[in-house]
C-alpha cells in the first residue's frame, strides 16, 4: 500500500515497468462498493515517454483512462520505462481509494518491475511527518518535491553478511554531518526544520560484492541525480540545497555483472475502507504472478 500525496485535484505515483506485455485491471474501490463507477475515482495512466508504451483500451473507452471498477487497459512496453498513475476523485473531497492488478502476460514481463520487494524506506518529510515507501519508488521527488529530514532503511529479510551504512548531513544554522547508522536505524532529524543536504550510502559486509545500490535524488532547484554502485554519495550543487526527492533500490549482481532487483515477498495488511481526502486516501496496485500463484500486494 502507498499513500498518495495531494497534488492539486489528483494524486500521482510513478511505477517502473519492464519491457513486455501487461494487463492493468481496476478491480475495486471502497467508494464504489467494488462494482460501480458512481463514486469511485478515475485512474489516468501516462507513460513517461509515449514512445515507450502503447496503451490499448476497451472499445469505446479512452485509451489512457480507467473510469471505475471492472475497467482495464493493456500495456505494451517496448522497453523498461516508467508510468504515472493519476487518481482523480469523482467529486471534490471524494474518495481516492482504488485497487488495481497489474498482470504480466508475456515472458519478458515476469522479470520484475525495477523495484525492491521486501525493503521499505521510512522518511520524515517536512510538514508531512513520517511516510513509508517501498524501495524503488519515489519519496517526494520531481512531481512532489518536499524537504526530507531523515530516512530509515527497513529490510526485514536482509541476507546474512550484508548491511547498509547511511550517513547524512543536515542544514540548521550551518551544515553538519550526523553519525553513520546501519539498516533499521534512523538517520537525520524530526521536527527541527533541518533538511538533509547530503547523503552517503554504502553496502558493507562479506556479501557486499554481490549487491549494488541504485539511487536517484533531487536537491532543491537541481536536476535528478542517478547513481549505481556499492558506495554512493549525493549532494546538491552548493552542498546546502535540501533533499526534496529520493528513490532507492538494492540489486543482486550475478557473476556476469547482470543485475536484478532483490525479491522478497512483502507482508502487508489490506488497507481499511473509507479512504477519502481527509483521511489520506490510498491506491493499491497488485502484481500478478505466474499461473498457480497468488497476487502479492505491491505499491
Question: Residue 280's pLDDT band (boundaries 50, 70, 90)?
Answer: very low
Bridge pairing between strands 98-104 and 282-287 = parallel
Residue 245: pLDDT band with limits 50, 70, 90: very high
Give Cβ neighbours of residue 214 (< 8 Å, ≥ 6 apart): 226, 227, 228, 248, 249, 250, 251, 259
* Average pLDDT of the chain, as a whole number: 77
pLDDT confidence of residue 287: 46
Higher-confidence residue: 23 or 246? 246
Contact 78, 53 (CB under 8 A): yes
Q: What pLDDT is recorded for position 70?
A: 87
Among 53-57, 91-95, 287-291, the range of highest mean pLDDT:
53-57
Residue 236: pLDDT band with limits 50, 70, 90: very high
Rounded to an integer, the average pLDDT of 274-278 is 27
Residue 4 — pLDDT band, cuts 50, 70, 90? very low
Residues whose CB is less than 8 angstroms from the CB of residue 177 and which lie 6 or more positions away in sequence, other chains included: 167, 168, 169, 198
Q: Per-residue pLDDT for 27 more than 70?
A: yes
Q: Which position has the higher pLDDT, 45 or 261?
A: 45
Nearest one of 79, 104, 141, 78 to 24, comparing CA atoms: 104
Q: Is the pLDDT reported for residue 276 higher than 60?
A: no
- Copy the grid coordinates of residue 144: 512532489
**Does residue 1 carry a pLDDT above 60?**
no
Label residue 63 by pLDDT band (50, 70, 90).
confident
Question: Given this model, what pLDDT does residue 157 score?
Answer: 84
Beta-strand runs (E) in 53-195: 53-57, 65-66, 72-77, 81-88, 98-104, 120-125, 129-134, 139-140, 148-154, 163-171, 175-177, 187-188
Task: Give the pLDDT confidence score for residue 106 in this predicted structure.
Answer: 54
Alpha carbons 83 and 77: distance in angstroms, whole number: 10
**What does the block give as the cell for 79?**
522497453
In angstroms, the CA 36 to CA 259 distance is 42
Interior CA angle at 95 toward 43 and 8, to 5°?
A: 65
pLDDT of residue 204: 96
Burial class (CB in 10 A: 0-12, 13-18, 19+), 173: exposed
Higher-scoring residue by pLDDT: 129, 283: 129
Q: Is the pTM of this model over 0.85?
A: no
pLDDT band for position 207 (cuts 50, 70, 90): very high
Q: Where are the domains of the chain?
A: 2-112+266-298, 120-261
Q: Report yes or no: 21 and 74 within 8 Å, Cβ to Cβ.
A: yes
Amino acid at each position: 500500500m502507498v499513500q498518495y500525496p495531494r497534488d492539486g485535484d489528483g494524486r500521482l505515483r510513478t511505477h517502473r515497468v519492464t519491457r513486455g506485455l501487461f494487463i492493468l485491471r481496476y478491480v475495486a474501490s471502497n467508494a464504489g462498493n467494488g462494482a460501480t463507477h458512481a463514486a469511485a475515482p478515475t485512474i489516468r495512466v501516462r507513460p513517461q515517454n509515449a514512445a515507450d508504451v502503447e496503451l490499448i483500451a476497451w472499445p469505446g473507452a479512452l485509451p489512457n483512462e480507467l473510469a471505475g471498477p471492472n475497467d482495464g487497459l493493456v500495456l505494451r512496453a517496448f522497453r523498461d520505462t516508467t508510468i504515472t498513475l493519476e487518481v482523480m476523485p469523482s467529486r471534490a473531497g471524494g474518495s481516492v481509494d482504488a485497487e488495481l492488478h497489474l498482470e504480466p502476460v508475456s515472458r519478458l514481463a515476469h522479470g520484475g518491475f525495477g523495484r525492491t520487494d521486501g525493503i521499505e524506506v521510512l522518511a520524515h518529510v517536512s510538514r508531512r511527518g513520517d511516510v513509508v515507501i517501498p524501495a524503488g519508488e519515489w519519496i517526494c521527488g520531481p512531481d512532489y518535491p518536499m524537504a526530507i529530514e531523515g530516512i530509515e532503511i527497513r529490510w526485514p529479510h536482509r541476507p546474512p553478511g550484508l548491511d547498509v551504512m547511511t550517513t547524512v548531513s543536515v542544514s540548521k544554522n550551518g551544515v553538519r554531518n550526523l553519525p553513520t547508522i546501519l539498516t533499521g536505524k534512523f538517520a537525520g532529524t524530526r521536527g527541527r526544520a533541518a533538511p538533509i543536504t547530503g547523503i552517503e550510502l554504502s553496502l558493507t559486509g562479506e556479501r557486499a560484492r554481490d549487491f549494488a545500490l541504485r539511487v536517484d535524488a533531487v536537491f532543491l532547484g537541481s536536476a535528478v541525480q542517478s547513481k549505481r554502485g556499492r558506495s554512493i554519495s549525493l549532494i546538491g550543487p552548493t552542498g546546502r540545497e535540501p533533499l526534496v526527492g529520493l528513490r532507492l533500490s538494492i540489486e543482486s549482481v550475478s557473476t556476469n555483472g547482470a543485475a536484478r532487483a532483490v525479491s522478497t515477498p512483502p507482508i502487508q495488511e489490506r488497507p481499511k475502507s473509507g479512504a477519502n481526502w481527509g483521511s489520506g486516501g490510498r491506491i493499491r496496485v497488485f502484481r500478478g504472478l505466474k499461473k498457480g500463484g497468488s497476487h502479492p500486494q505491491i505499491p
